A = this chain, B = another copy of it.
Amino acid sequence: MAETGSRTALAERYGPAEADLPVAWNDVLAGLLAHRSVRAYRPDLLPPGTLETLVAAAQSAASSSNLQTWSVVAVEDPATKRRLSAVAGGQRHVVEAPLVLVWLADLSRLEAIGRRQERPTEGLAYLETLLVGIIDAALAAQNATVALESLGLASVYIGALRNDPVAVAEALGLPPNVLAVFGHCVGYADPARPASVKPRLPQSLVLHKERYGAGADPAGVAAYDRTLTAFQEGQRLEPLGWTKAALERVRGPEALSGRDRLRAALERLGFGLR
């Protein structure tokens, strides 16, 4: 039973060729491997206490030096969701999901405490400290994702909020030194519009032993292009494979949907980036 579970899960995650990876197995692992990003929700509200549960899980993730340089805004108001959706290029699920979390790298808390105590907080002006906030927000959000999936809920991250972080800051009343790292739609998946597990690169490209090896091995990339093309055909999506779509996304600033101006936006939001 457990054996069948891992073989099926691995075949969905990597394609049939890797179904025999020697993985351990339990219910938590089964849940993690079955993750899918969901972009179609039922309108049903979440049960009371769900938000507090997700935040307790999020706060249980590690925090660099326990600085806790992150916060989260929970948005249910349709007008605010529409504003966020507009920033994200009109993604419908941002309006449709009953709950949209916006995960923040938040250096304003320590800045405010320092000001109150008349203590210097010059360290907040360094790029490193912004990265601490971003990393801690991501760790927290991922714990929330694991938690919500354990409750039968589904979600998708919305990196496209970084298309215009200044507009997001205005919509949510963020103080200076706070960046909306990404949004996170949460709700019940609409069974009429199901999402599938997306295949990933073979482990041989991603996992390196002792030293960095062949991260872009041509045979591995070609195998993944075939796996993803077959997946796309099964989903009635354009069978582009991976390489073509990924290279399209990184070809230049014009393909970054405004995020080529992220550095200027961060400066406007008050970050030092030293």
Contact = CB atoms under 8 A, between A and B. Distances in A.
Nearest to A139: B142
A23 B49 contact: yes
A34 B138 CA distance: 19
A45 interface: no
A132 interface: yes
A223 interface: no
A255 interface: yes
Contacts of A72: 206-208
Interface stretch (A89-97, A118-126, A186-194): A118-126
B247 A119 contact: yes
B203 A56 contact: yes
Given A13-B60, A35-B60, A119-B251, A215 B109 contact: yes
A181 to B, nearest CB: 7
B263 A273 contact: yes
Contacts of A218: 116
A92 to B, nearest CB: 18
Interface of A: 9-10, 13-14, 21-29, 31-35, 37, 47-53, 55-57, 59-68, 70-77, 80, 104, 106, 108-110, 112-114, 116-117, 119-124, 126-129, 131-132, 134-135, 138-139, 141-143, 145-147, 150-151, 156-157, 159, 162, 172-175, 178, 181-182, 197-198, 200-201, 203, 205-212, 215-216, 218, 221, 242-243, 245-247, 249-253, 255-256, 259-260, 262-263, 266, 273-274
